Amino acid sequence: MSEVLAALRVLAELDHALHHLSGRLADLDQDELVLQDRLRAEDQAMARRREEHRKLRQSALDRTAEADATDAKIREYQHKLDHEIISYKEMEFLREQVKLLRARLDQLSEEALRLMDAVEEDAKKLAEEEQRHQERRAKLTEELQALGKKREALQQEKAALEARREEALGRLPPLVRQRYEQLRARYPDPVVYVDGQACSGCHLRLSEATMLKLREGREVVTCENCSRFLLLRW
């Protein structure tokens, strides 16, 4: 009988350890989700920042292209004025247009230069931000990898505990094993010690008859109230 009791005790300890391990694995999952969220937010923020820079660069390019087009138009009109035979009315019109376009070109060139300067300055800032982003990213990735390793270790530990559990279960008589599994589905602690003269699972006082059977140690004893297996000493 003492061997069955010993196997029950080992089983209960293993299940307790497995329960604890499951909790640690769940915590790990939670930590991993938090880290993944942070990584995602980090990447999204950087993507927005790159897009902002791309738009600024595009607006500088657009303004430059507009200036080039205006310049081409001025040349075209000037060529007409210089080399073609045109009416006085048309000449007056083209001269007026050239004047207007030159003013516009000055404005566009100034804007294009200002935007190019802004792009250059922003590119420097972006490069610094990119570096800090990569540093933060590397740190988060490292933390995630560390979590992965921890999980691997815990899972190995779990597999070892489960193997020992199977072995302990195999040492129990079929009826006791069945009873244990039934109790385990109901309570986190199917095997409890006796505290004074009370079951430490349900805290109710045990009868003298139960106490006597326990002291004799000849059979597996269960609590008359909650049915948990009872042990005299833990």
Where does this chain bind Zn ion (CB under 5 A)? 199, 201-202, 223, 225-226
Question: Least distance to Zn ion from the beta carbon of 19, Å?
Answer: 19
Sheet containing 191-195, strands listed edge to edge, beginning at the edge strand earlier in sequence: 198-199, 191-195, 229-231
Geometric angle at alpha carbon 198, from 196 and 203, rounded to 5°: 130
Compute the least distance from the CB of residue 228 to Zn ion, in Å. 5
Q: Find where tokens 């988060």 sit.
A: 140
Main-chain phi, psi angles of 194, to 5 degrees: -95, 130
Rounded CA separation 48/138 (Å)? 19
Task: In angstroms, give the least distance from the CB of 177 to Zn ion.
Answer: 20
**147 vs 202, beta carbon nearer Zn ion:** 202
Q: Which is nearer to Zn ion, 70 or 222 (CB)?
A: 222
Q: Which is nearer to Zn ion, 18 or 202 (CB)?
A: 202
Which positions ≥6 away from 186 have C-beta within 8 Å?
Answer: none
Which two three-digit tokens encode residue 192? 């409890």
Smallest distance from the beta carbon of 183 to Zn ion, in angstroms? 10
Residue number with CB closer to Zn ion (14 or 199): 199
Least distance (Å) between residue 201 CB and Zn ion = 4
Instruction: Quote the least distance from Cβ 223 to Zn ion, whole Å.
Output: 3
Nearest residue (CB) to Zn ion, 127 versus 185: 185
Residue with smaller CB distance to Zn ion, 183 or 223: 223
Residue 209 CB burial class (10 angstroms; 0-12, 13-18, ≥19) = exposed
For the stretch 175-191, what's the b/e string if a residue is b when 16 or more beta carbons lie within 10 angstroms of its beta carbon? ebbebbeebeeeeebbb
